[in-house]
Chain A
Amino acid sequence: MVLINRVFSTLLKCQQFRQGVVSSLNIARLSTTSTCFSAAKKFTDKHEWVVIDGKVGTVGISHYAQDSLGDIVYAQLPDVGTDFSIMDECGALESVKAASELYCPLSGKVTEKNTAVENTPALINQSCYEKGWLFKLELTKPEELNGLMDEPAYEKFLKAQHEE
């Protein structure tokens, strides 16, 4: 019961937030990620994120990653039906003459790719956590999720990297 209440209050917070006036896009993005999805979103040290819904994970790259890549001009996404093991190379993003490998954050089979991003790679820069998602995969080893960072851990990781 306590749990249900907690979930409910989180949902309520999201709702309230959405109803609130959004004054700045950046603030909106930060707040959305930290209040609504923090429980679900997990990160790799290669800056991919994954959100799990049942057996299916949705994968994208983090705000930090899209920002450091610059304008993305081409998205090479994995084909539907391909099997990957955790941290396999599964595609690439091209920006300013650099091809950056994508790593599959969890083992699984690709069930869908975001064709909107293939047609308009700038979506990754504009909306990396929502419209700019890359692909979905059906997890074959859901327990691997425990090895990924949650949002506060990822932020800490970024901070530590920056200080290095």
Chain B
Amino acid sequence: MQAVLGKVVGTFRGVGAPLKASGSILLGNGSGLASAAGSATSSRVWHGFAIIGTNRFYATTRTASDNKEPEKSVFISQSTDIHTNLALEDWIYRNFNFENHRVLLLWRNDPCVVIGRHQNPWTEVDVSLAEEAKLPVVRRNSGGGCVYHDQGNLNCTFFTPRDGYDRKSNLEIICRALKRQFDIDADVSPRLDVNVQGYKISGTAAKLGKNAYHHCTLLVDADIKKLSALLNPDVDEKIESKATKSIKSPVKNLKSQDPTISVDKVLSSVGYEFLRSDSTGNDGGEKQIQHQRGFQMVNPTNEWFPGLEKIRSDLKGWEWNYGKTPDFSVDQSYPIGLGRANQDGAANIDLHLRIVKGRIENSQLRLPFGKEQLVDSNTLADLYAFINALKDRPFRMDILATFEGLLFKKSTQEVSATSSSRSLRDIRVAESLLIA
């Protein structure tokens, strides 16, 4: 394959020339990535602030003995597909050696919802609404809470060796960038959120293993209404689970601070600030940039990153996104007997479901003792047939709607219209909203 070399050299001081991730710059040739980590052929040393294509994508240009301070690169993903970007992040985490090379990956996605590794999608996300709007709900490898992404949101992944992991200093780089380029005062909270005037603009999560990464979102100009609608499912009281719960916080976009801001500008300024900081995160000034490798556009395909497609398809699968849900129970009570003549008050019929690895392991119906006659025998037979057929089926929220429909002789659509399952256009939300 022919190498496609992109070359963009600029002063790039500030945000005057934002980088466009428009797909024209590719890196390396077909063998570049296959030669993989550790092929430390020091063929070139790049000085200055340049984006240069290389035929050895991450060949180490200096060895540790040359210079102890690790060099830094900013990678900009050219994909806006959440599965591809998470796969790229995982690929870099698994295959790079960060001892002498620190990497900041900047990426953004088409609308989607991303949940933490140990979260329950049904308690965190209005899954029915996401399906209706055709938005993917994706489990990531890092811990933490649930976030909404769209093209108005910038994602930053800081890769380090495990012992170089320092979330606070990464977030401080972001705060310095916002101050330097946009004069926005941001601070890092004890929970490692980045706040502007008390509103959260960034959510953080991390993965630690042989290497480490810390990634965070930056709300620049995201659709906050959609965010709020998707991340507020009305199911808390029904579901009992040990899964990691998101902490809800009021959020806002950076755009509310500076109407001229854009994701491109924030991308440039965060990348620039990263390159002018040393490996411990301290500002090294303009001269620090001379030491770094600069910006590089990254085209995340299986050709450049062998094995990427396999990671991507695993991330897309039901087994990962829903099957990895920590075991949980659903308990729903349905009032029966209300308003009926000659009946002695109201009673509840209780549905209990136990969900193990995303599938229904056990389903039970509890009838009010002594009031079984409140449900007619045909309905009861239908209900039993329904719950008995649930065994081993993947859990879905509409199982509850179907059950309710059978019980009250209503269609599932009628139930949906009156229950918590909503559509995007009907949502009305307040100005300040809640997310993870």
Q: Which residues of A does B touch, CB under 8 Å?
A: 73-74, 76, 89, 92, 94-101, 103, 118-119, 161, 164
Q: Is the CB of A99 within 8 A of B118?
A: yes
Q: Are A99 and B206 in contact (CB under 8 A)?
A: yes
Pair A98/B207 contact, Cβ less than 8 Å: yes
User: B319-349 CB contact bits vs A (8 Å, 1 = yes)?
Assistant: 0000000100000000000000000000000
CB-CB under 8 A from A94, the residues of chain B are: 116-118, 143, 244
B208 in contact (CB, < 8 A):
yes
In chain B, positions 141-191 with a C-beta closer than 8 Å to chain A are 141-145, 163, 191
Extra A-B contacts (8), CB below 8 Å, given A76-B117, A101-B210: A73-B244, A74-B143, A94-B117, A97-B142, A97-B192, A97-B206, A99-B118, A99-B208
Interfacial chain A residues near B243, Cβ < 8 Å: 74
Residues of B within 8 A of A (CB): 116-118, 141-145, 163, 191-192, 204-210, 242-244, 326
Q: Which 7 pairs, one residue from A and one from B, show the smallest C-beta to C-beta distance?
A: A97-B144, A101-B209, A98-B206, A99-B143, A94-B143, A100-B208, A74-B118
Provide the bound-state CA to CA distance between A125 and B242, in Å: 17
- Main secondary structure on chain B at its contact with chain A? loop
Chain A residue at minimum C-beta to C-beta distance from B193? A97
From residue A84, how far is it (CB to closest CB) to chain B in Å? 15
Assuming the A-B contacts A74-B118, A89-B209, are A95 and B143 also in contact, with contact meaning beta carbons closer than 8 angstroms in the complex?
yes
**Cβ 8 A contact of B163, one of A74, A76, A101, A161:** A161
Residues from chain A with a CB closer than 8 A to the CB of B210 are: 101
Residue in B closest to A97 when the chains form the complex, CB atoms: B144
Q: Which residues of A contact B209 (CB under 8 A)?
A: 89, 100-101, 103
Q: When chains A and B are docked, how far (Å) is the Cα of A45 from the Cα of B192?
A: 28
Cα–Cα, bound, A101→B145 (Å):
18
Separation of A100 and B213 alpha carbons in the complex (Å): 11
Between A76, A92, A94, A97, the greatest number of chain B beta carbons within 10 A of the residue's beta carbon is seen for A97
The answer to whether A97 touches B163 (Cβ under 8 A) is no
Minimum CB–CB distance from B191 to chain A (whole Å) comes to 8
- Main SS at interface, chain A: strand
Residues of A within 8 A of B163 (CB): 161, 164
Residues of B within 8 A of A96 (CB): 143, 191-192
Bound CA span A94–B143, Å: 6
Hey, which chain B residues are within 8 Å of A101, CB to CB?
207-210
Quote the shortest CB–CB distance from A123 to chain B (angstroms): 13
Cβ 8 A contact of A98, one of B191, B208, B326: B208
Q: Is the CB of A119 within 8 A of B204?
A: no
In the bound assembly, the distance between CA atoms of A161 and B141 in angstroms comes to 27
Closest chain B residue to A95, Cβ basis: B143
Q: With both chains docked as a complex, state the minimum distance between the C-beta of A86 and any C-beta of chain B, in angstroms.
A: 14
Taken together as a complex, chains A and B put the C-alpha atoms of A97 and B217 apart, in Å, by 13
The chain A residue sitting closest to B214, CB to CB, is A98
> What residues of chain B lie closer than 8 Å to A99, measured between beta carbons?
116-118, 141-143, 205-208
Chain A positions within 8 Å of B244 at CB level: 73-74, 94
9 contacts between A and B (CB under 8 A): A74-B242, A92-B143, A99-B141, A99-B207, A100-B209, A101-B207, A101-B208, A101-B210, A103-B209
Q: Which residues of A contact B144 (CB under 8 A)?
A: 97-98
Chain B residue nearest to A121 (CB atoms) is B242
A127 to B117, CA, bound (A): 25
A119, B207: Cβ atoms closer than 8 Å: no
**A74 near B326: Cβ-Cβ < 8 Å:** yes
Contact B326 A97, beta carbon cutoff 8 Å: no
Partner of B205, one of A73, A74, A89, A98: A98
Complex-state Cα separation, A131 to B191, whole angstroms: 28
CA distance A94 to B191 in the complex (A): 15
Q: Which residues of A contact B326 (CB under 8 A)?
A: 74, 76
In the complex formed, the residue of A with least CB distance to B206 is A98
**Shortest distance in angstroms between B69's beta carbon and chain A's nearest beta carbon?**
15
Which residues of the partner chain A approach B207 to less than 8 Å between Cβ atoms?
98-101
Bound complex: CA A119 to CA B242 (Å): 7
Interchain nearest-CB distance for B195 vs A (Å): 15
Contacts of B204 in A (CB 8 A): 97
Min CB distance A87 to B, Å, is 9
